[in-house]
Amino acid sequence: MRTLLTIVAFFFILIGCKKDNSVQSALSGPFQYIAYDTIGTLVVSGWMTIDIQDSTHVTGEWHFNKVNNPQNIGPHTGEGNLVGGFYDGQLLINLNPNYVDNNVFLNGKIQANTYSGTWIWSGFPGLLNRGNFQATRE
């Protein structure tokens, strides 16, 4: 009887682990990305991929280009890997996870197929610049 209860408990745990993560299936994949400065001028465009493994393990890659000749956007162009997670209902992504200084963070909400919010360029002095962004699932 004890063995049967152990097997049943294990079975329910296994089923729980295989539940579909609705956020994962709704958000993982490629996105078109655009970013604006604080006055609403387009400064960056490109694409990114987001792979949500669970709420604390988000990975992907990004490929962004300058639009015109923006100033003070930090390492917000080029390409790289990203990491992040969900905190207080928002998805926080670090575009430069291998650096202690000179980072660009994306902090936003997910609504339908759109991830939008604020990008922040941060360094040792603190906030260096910011603006809004929108990433739309392809």
Q: For residues 73 and 44, is the Cβ–Cβ distance under 8 A?
A: yes
26-137 CATH choice from 2.40.128.120, 2.60.450.10, 2.60.40.1120, 3.40.30.10: 2.40.128.120
Q: Which of 77, 86, 18, 10 is nearest to 46 (CA)?
A: 77
Q: What are the residue boundaries of the structural domains of the chain, listed by start? A: 26-137
Q: Which amino acid is at 54?
A: D
Task: Label residue 4 by pLDDT band (50, 70, 90).
Answer: very low
What pLDDT, in 10s, does the model give residues 15-61? 334 344 444 445 789 999 999 999 999 999 999 999 999 888 999 99
pLDDT at 26: 55
Would you state the pLDDT for residue 30? 94
User: pLDDT for 68-101, tens place per residue?
Assistant: 999 899 999 999 999 999 999 899 999 999 988 8
pLDDT value of residue 55: 85
